[in-house]
Amino acid sequence: MRTIQTQVQINGDRILSVPLPKDIAEGTYQVVIIMNSQPDPDDTPDEIVIIVPNHSEIAKGTLRAIIRDIELSVEEFIELL
């Protein structure tokens, strides 16, 4: 699991363009994007991109890291399911 912080561009067709580091392998990924709709000027970045492996099962440690990266407790995450 890897967290990447980057600037994103959304065009008029609502298509999101995300530049990725060159070491990201070609493949299929599940991506979770959290965007702050009312950015706080003192708070950067305004967007957080979480890349999740597109596997039938995700390891427990990987899932916990994802939940931590999106700044939720396990209980809060479960409530959202």
For the chain (81 residues), the mean pLDDT of every run of 10, in chain order, is 74 83 83 66 62 81 86 86 80
The rounded distance, in Å, linking the Cα atoms of 72 and 81 is: 13
pLDDT on residue 52: 77
> What b-and-e string marks burial along 4-35, b requiring 16 or more CB atoms within 10 Å of the CB?
eeeeeeeeeeeeeeeeeeeeeeeeeeeeeeee
- The secondary structure of 24-61 as a DSSP string is SPSS-EEEEEEE-SS--TTS--SEEEEEEE--SS--HH
pLDDT on residue 40: 59
* Strand order through the sheet with 29-35: 2-4, 47-53, 29-35
The model carries a pTM of: 0.42
